[in-house]
A and B are shown apart, each in its own frame.
Chain A
């Protein structure tokens, strides 16, 4: 009964990128999605690159900068400099400790910080605000990222507290985690949104920086445990849209004992700008988002091999 009176037993602190309310593409109903910061993969097409590092990071939005120079004097590490009068400041990322001093000094919000530490209790208070919307729509909470399984103790605590409050829980994961983490989180999770990127391990290593062996093992285990699973396949032209890639996926899914839904998520380039804000290079600059026909064809190819309905979009 403690949960209903607001007592929070978990005391964990998580690295959080963002909390989005009215998330309607992260599972059933109206949801609040908590984005955890930090991911073991480095997918070239990542649309949330600011969620990859666990530590807080500085984002610089050049289009907002008024070149006032306030950040230069605010930085205690001398990491920001202006080379010519009236020019935009340059940040030496190696010397930046993400202390946030320049963010506080930046009036037009050209400098923002990605990532804060938040407690389970703090997040629960925010999650609880939309409880009537979850009730009405059979929605709930989704942990996404980043990678929730990269902070397994915190994620499990938060999910357990949600469940105590009768809030439906979902976890959106890349599946790259050790068994212990997976088991701890799965115990408090009603639904997994599970990303599969490539069945070809060589290409998987090339594009994400890691092998897919653990990911596929974990997926088989969740399926064999009878966990509710929605498998999500980001469709990226030139990376995983060959007939072989699609059929491999379909065949793999067909062998899983339990899969509730199979979704194709067409690539979009919204992450590209964010790489720039982070001062990083985008590895997929020339990929054109797939057209409607290509998406339908890909979905059909997967469906044929998987013998399962395939939907487009999350």
Chain B
């Protein structure tokens, strides 16, 4: 990287995240001044959005070529009191907690005390959400049976397609005007609401154009004061670009990047989409600009790389908005889950890998920025050299990029009725979850703790931790004569909690649709404009609601232990097993060893265990898939954990697979840490027995020792592992290439390993930034070496 990028990167990495109260202050002022105005919710929200963009502090850094920050400076995170109004205590916790702390200065605390809290207390959506939930929901939530994504964050996962590279916001305004005219004169019963929504979208478009004009003016002013002629010219070019985009469609590679970045700022300022907006298929969308700029002599390869690297820094300058409580536990990271896609196929089905794909891989490798997430889509049409180059980057050992199976993803989309073209243009976002880019609201609503549900099934619906009944009575397991009865109790508990969760989801969806319309993002998601409906309502072409299953390995192994020892060998009675679990195996080494050594475990290509995994997946799928949400879409399943497998582990007592109380659960669909003893091909065979095509994403972590990938031969062998997994329709695979000794040393001397980055679960993070339990969990994952 050149010196400019070096400086920008250093500033980004060295700046500690801070809380900025500016957005909260501006929104509060807007609300105060407009309390008496009678207007629709979308128009009101759009005007508030415009007020923020018209008045917020602008920032152009000394070396920047791509400009704009969400907060007043890099690494400053905005807050969203309309969703979650942080208390003074929250601010204190944020500034003092050991992991993911935020600087909170005295002025911000004073602002919260004098202005933000008095206005928003009792009005935030978080408070409405908790008030609207049933007693059953609260009981399950408190016990750690499931989490709730929407309790302090807004629905995310609206990834951008190619529309902003072909149209400017003036074009969108024209489309909005024509839709408005159509509805104004139609006899659609709710036409007034649709006209309101379109008016709101129009205001939101103006707001973004206004922000860019302000940036253009600032750049011109700064150019006048620039210290060097070179910087003066750069600032004038920035001013010219900001005067053109986003009002009009971009004409060059650089304009395209700046266009995207303004759109990004708009989306993440409107609401705190927990899965930060991202550009999706970057190489495919930018390639035409790159090609014509290079061919016509406006841009060199190095120039394009520098611009991309400026762009990379921008994402990492935006820490995820501060989270508290369970939401922080389930997602303890600054990572805002940007996932830039490269590779895959074109909407026509051709291989989409191009020159820019390789350039982006160079950028990923050079930047080593974990919070600018990236992934490769690999289709059967992608050349091997693309995969091998990807693995060369993976081998650097910072967990990026992750690798996705385009052919499986297309099948997953087609199964739920998406068009072939929309399917091919889509991909993964966040961790591993898929959506039709630019056309879908794909809402993840919470994690479901399968091992906890099994624990409840083994205690007749009573939580052994609290002694409270929180699930239905499914019988005393000591009376069960067969494994099928155990499984049936598990399934009944599972269905109960799915029902509770889905009922809660419906209420929360309505709260967002009513109180938190998002007119800006609605402009960008088909077919919100055509329908005059909001992104948080029925606007998007596709509307999916997900509940993420967690603990495949732990649950499978636990059920396998019960089957093997209680029913097949009869080496342990159910009564004895329950007593051993209640004692957390204390004084029961013999029983624990028997279980650990004599149980078929998931991840070893052993059908006795893998059949149970399949059965659990089917039960979960049958309980959820296709059940309607309130927006005209349906519920779907996916299997991923972020960091919740650590939090959920704390909520579950000893489990029948020999796991002691409080220890993390297995992550994603990966085997229980250390239970897979037959190497990566057996792991892949086991997880390949699950039908990934019926999910919206699964997550498989594999750790290899660096030795395996040390040469071309090793790269090719790991490439064969990836390709074979994908022949089994595997959805996603990611690698940590690091040995345990290095991780141990990094625990002992974190200062010497500030730059050590590991794959956690669908995203990367600095090892030193992880909680100790999560560090231990990463180390415990089986490391594959050579046989």
Contact = CB atoms under 8 A, between A and B. Distances in A.
Interface in B673-699: 678-682, 685
A30 B727 contact: no
Interface in A247-276: none
B685 A24 contact: no
B495 to A, nearest CB: 34
Interface string A15-36: 0000011111110011001000
A133 B720 contact: yes
B395 to A, nearest CB: 15
Contacts of B589: 66, 107-108
B720 A139 contact: yes
A136 B720 contact: yes
Nearest to B688: A132
A71 to B, nearest CB: 14
B34 to A, nearest CB: 62
Nearest to B708: A24
A129 B605 contact: yes
Nearest to B683: A22
Interface residues of A, number: 22
B717 interface: yes
Contacts of B786: 22-25
A21 B678 contact: yes
A23 to B, nearest CB: 4
Contacts of B723: 136
Contacts of B590: 107
B680 A22 contact: yes
A131 B414 CA distance: 29
Nearest to B593: A107
A136 B724 contact: yes
Chain A interface, >50% SS class = loop
Contacts of A108: 589, 593
Interface string A128-143: 0110110111010000
Interface centre among A22, A66, A133, A137 (most CB of B within 10 A): A22
Interface centre among A24, A66, A130 (most CB of B within 10 A): A24
Contact of A29 (B680, B682, B717, B784): B717
Contact of B679 (A20, A107, A132, A137): A20
B593 A24 contact: no
Chain B interface, >50% SS class = helix
Interface string B162-202: 00000000000000000000000000000000000000000
Nearest to B604: A21
Contacts of A23: 786-787
A22 B681 contact: yes
Contacts of B681: 21-22, 30, 129-130, 133
Interface string B721-750: 101100110000000000000000000000
Contacts of B593: 107-109
B787 A132 contact: no
B682 A21 contact: yes
B720 A20 contact: no
Contacts of B307: none
A30 B679 CA distance: 11
A177 B62 CA distance: 75
A24 B714 contact: yes
A24 B717 contact: yes
Contacts of B597: 107, 109
A30 B721 contact: yes
A136 B727 contact: yes
Contacts of A33: 787
A30 B685 contact: no
A107 to B, nearest CB: 4
Interface in A188-231: none
A2 B512 CA distance: 63
A206 B728 CA distance: 52
A139 to B, nearest CB: 7
Contact of B724 (A20, A66, A107, A133): A133
A137 B721 CA distance: 8
A135 B594 CA distance: 38
Interface centre among B678, B713, B787 (most CB of A within 10 A): B787
B73 interface: no
A264 to B, nearest CB: 15
Interface of A: 20-26, 29-30, 33, 66, 107-109, 129-130, 132-133, 135-137, 139
24 contacts: A20-B787, A22-B680, A22-B786, A24-B717, A24-B786, A24-B787, A25-B786, A29-B717, A30-B681, A30-B720, A66-B589, A107-B594, A107-B597, A108-B589, A108-B593, A109-B597, A130-B681, A130-B685, A133-B720, A133-B721, A136-B720, A136-B724, A137-B720, A139-B720
Interface of B: 589-590, 593-594, 597, 605, 678-682, 685, 708, 713-714, 716-717, 720-721, 723-724, 727-728, 784, 786-787
